[in-house]
Every structure is written in C-alpha cells, then in structure tokens.
Chain A
C-alpha cells in the first residue's frame, strides 16, 4: 500500500494514460507543478495545454477538444476550477454533455496554511447539483490512480476531487475501484461510518481508538458521491443502529446530504450524524490543526461514534 496524496495518484495515472490512450489530453491553468500535471506535459508536450491563469477559458477549451473526440482532463486547484468556471461547466460541459474531466486538486480545509480562500469546501455541493455530472473523490494514492483510469473510460462529464496532503495507503493494486460503488473497508456493528477522501484516514485512526473500548463500527469508503451507491447505503443503514458521514466539506450539499437523502427517501430511520465543516470559513494553520479545531480529526470521529451510541 502506497502512501501519498491523491493528486500524486492522479499525476501517475495521467502518465500511464498518456502512453495507453492517445485521446487523453491534459489542460492546466498555471499550477501544473502543484497539480501534478507537469510530468504529463514533459512526456507528452503536444497533448498538454497550459492555458495560463484563466480557468473559464481552460474549461471551454477542454469542451471544444472533447467535441473532436479527445478526453480532456482540465486541472486546477478545486477553489479556482469550480469557483471561476461554474458557468462554463454548466453550459459548455454539463449541458452540452461534453466528455470533459474536471480535476480539482487542493480541496477541503486540508489545504491548510493558504487559508480559507484556497480551502474549497463547497465543490461537492456545486458539482452534485449539476445534471449529467458524476462526482468522485478517492481516498488514497492508489484509488486516485484507478479512479483517473476509470474516468478516462467513462463517457461524460465528471468531477474528480483531489487533495494536497499525503494520505496513508488504504489500498494496494489488487483493489478494484468501481465507479458508483462504495467499498466496505471494515465490517463491524452498531454504527456505520460513510466516509470520503481524507476522512477515511481519520476514520481509520478513530477505529483504532474505539477498538480499545470494544467499539467496532463499520467503515465504508464512498468514493463516488454521484451517482451514490444507494443500495449499499440502504443495506448497511438497516443493519446498524446509527449512521455517521464524514467529509472535508461544508455540512451542506456534500456526502452527508447525499447519504441523508438516501435514508429519507427510503424511509429508513437511524440515528444520524454528519462530520463536516460546520458552515463556516476556517482559517490558516496546518491541516492537522485545522482538522482538530474544525471538527474533522480522528478524535471528533471517536466522539461522534460515542454520541450516536448513547
């Protein structure tokens, strides 16, 4: 199992795709060193378009390329990719149904010291609300690599949510990422935690603590947020007393709402708790400090599990 940031898994997959799929092209908006598209650009310069700091132009250029049969990965920091290009994504990508992959790196408050203007915590709400758009957030390096391959195969608009920070490896190459499928990381009882992205790592830490007190929740990786794996959520919610969701995103519009919708629409009544950013802008600080202060660290997962059990 390889430790690493999901942006690094993405960059590694792009290099593989560059060699295996001549239709894959990559666009960046002047952050190719941070977003990890630079190696692709060095290896396949004719298929790499650094559009400069103009995300709207980049997204529409990607849409144009897609109409010619290319598979463009348009890449930037999540805050700018979504923030600067919502209209372009709506009209030229989603409504036009062009085969554009939007890769947003540096998502969540885990970005850290650059502060709240760089900490994208509303992108899941944005993208989940867009018709034709699927939404994927991998939990480690390997899953990011596989998800990138899967999105190159999938025909249609997609948002790939990636992170800056190094995450502990959760999967090795024998794992088979499947679009639209949740993955049960650990089967336990009483409480089921549906986590996404970096919150898998926090949840794994929390499970170790809880184990000491003989509390053994089930942990599920929801890496496809849309379409969400309703069948798995329904089944597991029925088998447990309480449901917890965990995400580095605002509490509105992300994983918590997606899981909550599935429960409500299927008339499933379970104790329910969201671990998410509490509808506020965070501040500067290290990722670990921010996770502790803003309610996302392993200790908060432990607390939430205990709360829903009492």
Chain B
C-alpha cells in the first residue's frame, strides 16, 4: 500500500507541475503578445511527465551530455510550452522567459525553437521534419553504442505532412527501438478541425501498418501517460503513443477552439485562464 500511496503522490505532484507549466506558458505568450496557446496546453501533460516524471535522463547543467535522452518538439509552434518546460527543468533561469519572442532575446527564445537555446536539439517551424531528425539521432545512438532514448512530440495536424510517413517507414526499416513518437492528438488545427481538414483515422491502424509498436492513451491522464512512457522498449519496433488530448486543455474557453491556435490571450483572458488553472 505504501508504494501505491507514493505513486499517487508522485502523480499529483506531476499534475501540479503541469498546472504551473500551463500558467507560465500562457503568461509568456500573453507578455509576448503572440504565440500558440492551444497546442501548448494540449501537450503539457505529456511533456511534463517526460521531463519531471523521471522518464528522461538529462543534466540541465550539461545540456550537450552525449548520453542525454533527447527531446524534440516537432510541432514547434508550441514553443511557449517548450521554453517554459526547459526553464522549469533548470536549463536556464525562468527570468529569461521574459525575452520570449522578443528581439535580441539573449537565449534566442524565438517563436519556434532553435538549438542556440540550451536544451533545444534542432530548429523547428516547418511541420513534418521532427520525426526524421529524431530518427537520425536514434541512428547516431546506435552507431555510438549509446543507450539514450529519443522522444519526439508530433502534432496531429502535422501527420498530414507526407514526410512523417516517410520517417515512419524509415524507423521501422532500421528497427529503431530507441525512438518514441508521441502524437498530441488534439483534433484541432489552425483553421479547421483535423477531421475536416484531412482526417487521420483510422490512426492506430495506420501506425501499426507502418510497423510501429502502437499505443493509444488519454493524453491528460497522468497515470496513464506515465505508465505508457515507462514501458520497456519493444524488441524490434519503434514506438508511437497516440495521446488523445484537448486543444487548450485546462482553460474552458480555449478548449477545442481553432480560434485559440495562434492568438495570445488578452490581460482579461489571461486572468480568467489563470484562475481556472489555480
């Protein structure tokens, strides 16, 4: 029973960290006056568990440690979430977040991330590239006989890009079992619902057919996220976790709305949002 209690405590701690990350993400997007709140909020629980749930090993004081686990955010517009997470994980002081999306940003906290920022592996901004890059890193690990793992968070809209499926074929071909892709399946793109823009279903069947060890979870259930990310690697397949999420999760008036894809909250909206995230 003791163990179960501890686990529950850990989960509620992670949930609190996720709330804190949501608050800060919205605050820095508000301060910047532009950004992408919806897709930051939907991926928060997944990213929180990766960084704070003991899933990834990393040393924020040594961000280039060759043995670090790698994190890539292929849906790079969720940079508010990315930078907030890196700051809270200790890669740089939280105060630096003030320069997010601002000219002369000392750590280059651009609208989409770039490796000049500590903890960022590759530039993003054009959807569809992250899975291939992550796979290249996974192949590098194999060449160097290193045991690190590569995690890449993909957007659901981004799965409309053909390159994702090129990379899916490649990783299966090379049996890159050290690669885990997590699809932030929030069902909402910039101007349309994903299903109306170009439907992804049947999504699990697609990934299975492409040779991936495929899992589907509730992307806001921390217990489920944690359990799935903790699973030992598959013997010969790369892994995909399709996480059903809600765009704008945690803020009632943002949830499921295309309108909150790429708009910063006003001061009034921010106050309302922060109250809901207390």
A and B are partners in one complex rather than unrelated chains: yes
Q: Which residues of A are in contact with B by a Cβ distance under 8 Å?
A: 25, 46-47, 49, 51-52, 54, 56-70, 72, 87-88, 90-92, 95-98
- CB-based contact B136/A67 at 8 Å: yes
Q: List 16 A-B contacts (CB under 8 A).
A: A52-B169, A52-B173, A54-B163, A60-B132, A62-B136, A65-B137, A65-B139, A65-B143, A67-B115, A67-B122, A67-B137, A70-B140, A87-B129, A91-B129, A95-B114, A96-B114
Q: Which residues of chain B come closer than 8 Å to A56, judged between CB atoms? A: 128-129, 132, 162-163, 166
Binding site secondary structure of chain A? helix
Given known A-B contacts A47-B143, A61-B133, A92-B123, A69 and B163 have beta carbons under 8 A apart: no
Q: Does B126 contact A (CB under 8 A)?
A: yes
CB neighbours (8 Å) of A52 from chain B are 166, 169-170, 173
Q: Does B144 belong to the interface (CB within 8 Å)?
A: yes
Q: Which residue of A lies closest to B121 (CB)?
A: A67
With contact pairs A25-B143, A49-B174, A52-B170 given, residues A60 and B136 touching in the complex (Cβ less than 8 Å): yes
Query: Which residue of the partner chain A has the closest CB to B142?
Result: A46
Binding site for A on B (CB under 8 A): 66, 114-115, 121-126, 128-129, 132-141, 143-144, 162-163, 166-167, 169-170, 173-174
**Residues of chain A lying within 8 A (CB to CB) of residue B139:** 49, 61, 64-65
Given the complex of chains A and B, what is the CA–CA distance between A68 and B65 in angstroms?
Answer: 10
Q: In the complex, A97→B128 CA distance in Å?
A: 19
Number of A-B pairs, beta carbon distance below 8 Å: 107
Residues of A within 8 A of B167 (CB): 57, 60-61
Cα(A88)–Cα(B20), bound, Å? 34
State A67–B129 Cα separation when bound (angstroms). Answer: 15
Known: A49-B139, A69-B66. A63 touches B133 (CB 8 A): yes
* Residues from chain B with Cβ under 8 Å of A95 in the complex: 114, 123
- Report the minimal beta-carbon distance from A67 to chain B, rounded to whole angstroms: 6
Question: Which residues of B have CB within 8 Å of A60?
Answer: 129, 132-133, 136, 163, 167
The reply to whether A65 and B166 form a contact with Cβ atoms under 8 Å apart is no
Output the nearest chain A residue to B146 by Cβ-Cβ distance: A68
- Which residues of the partner chain B approach A69 to less than 8 Å between Cβ atoms? 66, 140, 144
